Chain A
Amino acid sequence: MLEREKILEVKGLQTTFFTDDGEVPAVDNVDFHIREGEVLGIVGESGCGKSVTSLSIMGLVPSPPGKITNGEILFEDQDLTKLPEKKMREIRGNDIAMIFQEPMTSLNPLFTIGNQLQEAVKIHKKDWSKKQIYNRAVEMMKLVGLPRAEGLMKEHPHQLSGGMRQRVMIAMALLCDPKVLIADEPTTALDVTIQAQILKLIKNLNKELNTAVLLITHDLGVVAETCERVVVMYAGKVVEEGPVDAIFKDPQHPYTRGLLESVPDMRFKKERLYSIPGNVPKPGSIKTGCRFAPRCEFAFDRCVEETPPLYQTTEEHQTRCFLFDPKEAEKHDRTIVKS
């Protein structure tokens, strides 16, 4: 496959929350990129920093208490972290759009669907006529597979089901032909049959419109189904990154492996689920060493003393684990012990 160009690049991103209990780095030195027309997944459990990462890209980190304290977010030769709010507003919703988890709360209950869709176009396409704007809104509603688009334009959000609302959100995000679409847990609030419809829609739109998608989720099944590449996050850090096939076939970081082992599979019955001992650490509580070390069955002295770098294990696969340091690899056995 032809190497596609990087469209968005996050370099050394650090987003810190200044709370009463001190500084909490929710996202700590995160690097990744999205290529044109690609679907990139970010997976991790609650508190791993995946949502804060997406909010940082959009410039929507609640401030105070949050602030991007370090790093760059490069989009079309501009560093988004340095842009003034006015400039950022031109990019947001126009070049980079976002859909959220809760289709219930992300639409305004007081305005009609048509009103809200047209407002989004009006802001970015100032020279369009009313007719043009209306037609664009209807066109997008049809594209996302909503029935009787014209009729729905006059309805209020409460008249729609959860799945339809999420389709409206997607239509709204795509109105201005964004180059990147960030989807933060877009199907978590939906039932499985509706989830399947929405995921299929996102995949089709990605192919048809060539919009790059950054899909944030906690569901490994959703990742396997939709993404081309995956970034696995744990406690604010990227622990593994690679093509989806490699991550699922040859997961390298002990956390990724534990996560995959602990998911009950619908296709067959596992005798006993593997479970990662302990709990996700509080953000900022582990200062030195690998953040997964306290829960890791492979941890050795070095894991507690130093923070591991990302090791390039194959051409496209990276892992933040000392087991993949060429110097350590021989000394340690990497087979997982099932309890």
Chain B
Amino acid sequence: MTEQLLKVEGLKKYFPIKSGIFGRVSNHVKAVDDISFSVKEGETLGIVGESGCGKSTTGRMLMRLLEPTEGKVTFDGQELTSLSNNEMRKARRDIQMVFQDPYASLNPRHTIEKILMEPLNVHNIGDPKERKQKVHEFLEIVGLSSYHAKRYPHQFSGGQRQRIGIARALMTNPKLIIADEPVSALDVSIQAQVLNLMQDLQKELKLTYIFIAHDLGVVRHISDRVGVMYLGNMAEMADTEDLYEKPLHPYTQALLTAVPVPDPAFEREEVEIQGDVPSPANPPSGCRFHTRCPFKMDICETTIPIFAEVEKGHSVACHLYEESRPQ
């Protein structure tokens, strides 16, 4: 349980902004700027943040669907960032992804059987008969029926399509599943079904999840540990209970109090933050949150805070906690 399955060190992704007739690179969008974390075997790591914070980019870089600009990703003892494309394709057998949009992520011209068989063909698993059997088996596992195999994606509802997306990710018996907003396109009652399914599968198949989402309630429900991202940086990371019960970073505090709670009697303590998220092409100097932070100090404008442990298992990037850090 404590073994590290995935380790990320100093991961960065800069997208160039080109301008002028020669397409000169004038600036970079720093979508992800120097983040490090690790994922233990069998756990669920939730990554939350608002739009543009780089959480999806991070997810894609772990699978190298996007090439990192800098940084190292180690999975199961193997350094993914130094693999050739061919080797990487093989490594993807153990890392699979579930996407947000169940409408766009399934090919409308293929039957479910063909869609689910694809990963088996790519990785050369089993003979045609075994593959077919496996498709039927996994359809049952995700709560559909084997007769669904002959149908096309448009014949399914959103929730069912997301189940198919999950089945596809499971076909190669992966160790790690990266789920990028897997329930945000679904209605509440369907969302609960898919979340329960993901939890059951995790227990049964001993999966490790990286669960990327913007919904803090969903993340609390499914995650063992949670990382909060802001403008390409990791602001805070801790065990779920710790993070929700005593958030340290002012951004996490504001984020948690901003979520509407389904209870009219609930009285919130307000940590209101002003304004919008600044552009990642031109992020603020020092701590990136200082433009909206209610506890801003002088040092925040000039020095980038270090992301480091403050308590056991609780890391934060904020100058407020500089002194309480174990030396």
Contact = CB atoms under 8 A, between A and B. Distances in A.
The judgment on whether A and B are partners is: yes
Interface of A: 45-46, 161-164, 191-197, 199, 218-225, 244-245, 248-249, 258-260, 262-267, 269-270, 272-277, 279-280
Contacts of A259: 188-189
Interface string B252-272: 001111111111111000001
Interface of B is mostly: helix
Contacts of B265: 245, 248-249
Given A191-B214, A196-B272, 8 more contacts: A191-B51, A192-B255, A195-B258, A197-B272, A219-B260, A249-B265, A260-B262, A275-B193
Given A196-B272, A248-B262, A264 B50 contact: no
A263 B188 contact: yes
B262 A221 contact: yes
Interface stretch (B35-43, B91-99, B117-125, B217-225): B217-225
Q: Which of the listed residues B191, B260, B263 has the most CB atoms from chain A within 10 Å of its own CB?
A: B260
A218 B265 CA distance: 19
A101 B206 CA distance: 40
B258 A264 contact: no
B193 A248 contact: no
A266 B277 contact: no
B192 interface: yes
Contacts of B218: 264
Nearest to A270: B221
Contact of A193 (B221, B254, B261): B254
Given A248-B263, A273-B196, A276-B189, A265 B258 contact: no
B260 A221 contact: yes
Nearest to B241: A269
Contacts of A270: 221
A191 B188 contact: no
A224 B188 contact: no
Contact of A221 (B157, B241, B259, B273): B259
A194 B276 contact: yes
Contact of A269 (B221, B254, B256, B257): B221
A263 B272 contact: no
Given A193-B273, A266-B244, A258 B189 contact: yes
6 contacts: A218-B188, A224-B260, A224-B261, A245-B264, A263-B262, A270-B221
For the complex of A and B, 8 pairs with smallest distance between CB atoms: A221-B260, A262-B192, A264-B221, A191-B50, A275-B192, A196-B258, A45-B187, A264-B217
